[in-house]
Amino acid sequence: MTVRALRPLTILTVILLAVGFGMAFFYAPLDVDQGFRQKIFYLHVPLGIVGLCGFVLGGIHGLINLRTGSPESDLRSYVTIHIAQIFSVMVLITGSIWGRTAWGHWWSWNEPFLVSFLIVFLMYCTYQPLRLSIDDPRRQARAASVFAVVAGVFVPINFAVVRLAAQQLHPRTLNSAAEGDMPGSVLLTFLLCFLAIAVLYATMVRYELLSKSTTFRLRALERRVGGDDLIPRRSSVPQA
C-alpha cells in the first residue's frame, strides 16, 4: 500500500464530503423547530455512529490478534481505535455546540445518550496509556487486544441499554428513519453524509496504517544497519 494507491480513495472521500454536506446546506429543508442549527445533525450523528462502529472494529481486530498473534491485527486494532477516538472528540464537540443552540446549555447530565457516550470515550482514553505501560511487545499486544475486545463488546451493549432509556431529550435518528417520520430529502442527505463520514474514516485508517507500517520498516532498517540497540523498542505499535 502506497500513497499513490490511496489517491482514488482520497478523491472519492473529498467528492462524497463535498456532495453530502453541499446537500445538507442547500438541498435538505430547514427543520421546523430548530431551523438552520439543525444542519449540524448531518455531521454529528454520522460521526457518532461511525466512531462507535470503529471501536467495535478495533475489538474484532483485537480478537483476531488473540487468536493468531498477528502483529498486523494488533496494528489494525490500534489504528481503528485511534481514529475512532478522534471521531469521538468531534462528536462531543459538535454535540455540545448543538446542545448549546438547541437547549441553551452545553451539556445535560440527565440525558443518558450523552453521558453514556462520554463514558465510552473516557474508557477508551485509557487505551494508549495501557499500551505504553507495558514494555514487552507481545504482552503489550495481548493486553491491548483484551482491552479492545472487552470494550468493543461493551459498546453495543451500552448503546442498546441507552436506546431503552425512558428520557427522550436526545433525538432518536434511527427510530425516525425506521418509522418513516424522516422526510425523503432529509433521509437521502443523511445517508449520503453518513457514507461520506464512513469513507473518511476508512481513508484515515488507511493513511495511518501506511504511516505506521512505514515507521516499522524504517526502524527495522535502522536496527539492521546500526545494530539492535540503536533504537530501544518499547512498543509493538510505533507511536505518532
User: Which residue, among 142, 131, 115, 123, has the nearest Cα to 55 in the 3D structure?
Assistant: 123
What's the confidence (pLDDT) of residue 234?
Answer: 47
CA proximity to 145, closest of 206, 68, 61, 205: 61
The pTM score is 0.85
Q: What is the pLDDT of residue 9?
A: 92
So what's the pLDDT on residue 240? 44
Alpha helices in 104-183 (DSSP H): 112-124, 127-132, 137-163, 173-178
**pLDDT score of 171:** 56
- Calculate the dihedral angle through the C-alpha atoms of 132, 137, 139, 145, rounding to the nearest 10 degrees: 70
What is the residue-level pLDDT of the chain in tens, covering all 240 positions? Answer: 677 888 999 999 999 999 999 999 988 888 777 777 888 889 999 999 999 999 999 999 999 999 998 989 999 999 999 999 999 999 999 988 888 887 778 887 877 788 889 999 999 999 999 999 988 889 999 999 999 999 999 999 888 877 776 555 555 555 555 455 677 888 899 999 999 999 999 999 999 999 888 887 787 777 778 655 544 554 556 554
